[in-house]
Amino acid sequence: MVSRRDRKVGLVFDDRYIAHNSGLFMIAYREQYPFPEPLPHPSSPQIATRTKQLLDLFGYTDVMQRIDAYEASDEMLLAYHTQDYLDRVRDVSKTGGDVGNGAPIGRGGDRIARYAAGGVAAGVDAVMAGDVHHAYALVRPPGHHAMSDRGMGFCVFSNVALAARHAQRTHGAERIAILDWDVHHGNGTQDAFYNDPSVLFISIHQEDLFPVGWGPLDQLGEGDGTGKTVNIPLPAGSGNRAYMEVMEQIVAPVLRQFDPGLILISAGQDASVEDPLGRMSLTTGGYRSMTRMVRDVADEICDGKIVVAQEGGYSQHYAPYCSAAIAEGLCDGLSGFQPVEEPYGPRAESMPPSRRIGLDSRAAITAALETHQQYWNL
């Protein structure tokens, strides 16, 4: 195996992602914020911009290999989405508007969303070809809520589900694992593979947050796919210790037993302690540790093949640091890589939920273990 020093890590980023126009803040996606000063949409371009700036300022991009995104073709998108939906996105893109339930795009948004799906696929291409071991696709708009026939929750195309299918069809990968740690449930990704035993879907999320009704323990897949959907709902307030316990006791053993040829991470940094759209308590340290753990498991079972795809993350000041911590988790140990100590670390780490496992989190982890032991040796 190639030593960590000599490993390569790719970064997918495209200026088009910044041009994705989600508009202004809306109340329940219908009514504009009533105050005179405009407020940006939570999924605004600034967070991705700042994330890229941090990666540049920290020098992380200097050791990462640039990977060019491309525009996803109709054929790629039809691996999950319907032709009617593709037509609708193309139409709405002429003027700007909503392509589903709270999935705003601006003029020209169809092409940008195709570059987001194609960006994750480009990361898959680079990893599967062996050009890099791990890749981070810093894309916008995100994808994991998008359903086959409509956008949802800021997501237009199901970037990660499409990338999994792309890996199977173009690169002959047999089994793909998807780990979704966005604070919200990855309903679109779950739907795409619910009866498909070749794609494992693991989701750690705040219970019953969004979309309501998705992601309880008893949504386990169906038919041949039964057991290959692994939902791990956690109560609000869960932090680093609870997440790491889930990673050690459920995620890592399930990944090893499934033995995929590629691991995709739907990386939402909205489980952070500073996030306005979630109530979890992860810190940069938590994101760094989770990334390292998946990286080490990937090194064991699939020669390090990981593609991290950006999903949510809405803290204007903290989400970029969480994303940088993920990049650090992929890059540490590489020749020439110098991790940067970020300013929020000590303050965030001092918050109790990031250090302790509350009784509710403990009960949720026990319940998840009992459920998933039906299908996995945990």
Contact 68, 122 (CB under 8 A): yes
Residue 116: closest CA among 147, 80, 70? 70
169-205: b (≥16 Cβ within 10 Å) or e = eeeebebbbbbbbbbbbbbbbbbbbbebebbbbbbbb
CB 208, min distance to Zn ion, A: 14
Nearest CB to Zn ion, comparing residues 110 and 182: 182
CB 160, min distance to Zn ion, A: 13
Alpha-carbon separation of residue 328 from 64, 303, 335, 368 (angstroms): 11, 19, 13, 29
Binding-site member from 182, 274, 275, 328 for Zn ion (CB under 5 A): 182
List the structure tokens of 48: 């991705």
275 near Zn ion, judged by CB under 5 A:
no
CB 280, min distance to Zn ion, A: 11
CB 311, min distance to Zn ion, A: 6
Nearest CB to Zn ion, comparing residues 93 and 203: 203
Of all residues in the shown chain, the one whose CB is closest to Zn ion is: 312
Query: Which secondary-structure segment (H or E) carries 331?
Result: helix 319-331
Nearest CB to Zn ion, comparing residues 139 and 302: 139
Site size toward Zn ion (CB under 5 A) is: 5
Which residues, 40 to 79, sit near Zn ion by CB under 5 A? none
Which residues, 297 to 316, sit near Zn ion by CB under 5 A? 312
Nearest CB to Zn ion, comparing residues 235 and 268: 268
Nearest CB to Zn ion, comparing residues 151 and 312: 312
Q: Which stretch binds Zn ion (CB under 5 A): 50-58, 77-85, 106-114, 181-189?
A: 181-189
Cis peptide before 216 (omega within 30 of 0): no
Encoded one letter per residue, x for contact with Zn ion by CB under 5 A and - for no contact, window 319-358 reads ----------------------------------------
- Three-class SS of residue 31? strand
Cis peptide before 34 (omega within 30 of 0): no
List the structure tokens of 368: 């998840």
Nearest CB to Zn ion, comparing residues 52 and 205: 205
Q: Catalytic pick from 145, 184, 185, 205?
A: 145
CB 319, min distance to Zn ion, A: 11
CB 183, min distance to Zn ion, A: 5
Which residues, 105 to 144, sit near Zn ion by CB under 5 A? none
First to last CA, the chain: 28
Contact 155, 103 (CB under 8 A): yes
Nearest CB to Zn ion, comparing residues 206 and 354: 206
263 forms bridges with which residues in the sheet?
177, 306
**262-267 and 26-27 beta bridge pairing:** unpaired
User: How many Cβ atoms are within 10 Å of 355's Cβ, its own excluded?
Assistant: 13
Encoded one letter per residue, x for contact with Zn ion by CB under 5 A and - for no contact, window 235-274 reads ---------------------------------x-x----
User: How many Cβ atoms are within 10 Å of 62's Cβ, its own excluded?
Assistant: 11
Q: Is 166 a catalytic residue?
A: no
20-36: b (≥16 Cβ within 10 Å) or e = bbbbeebeeeeeeeeee
Binding-site member from 8, 133, 166, 184 for Zn ion (CB under 5 A): 184
- The catalytic site residues sit at 145
Where on the chain is the footprint of Zn ion (CB under 5 A)? 182, 184, 268, 270, 312
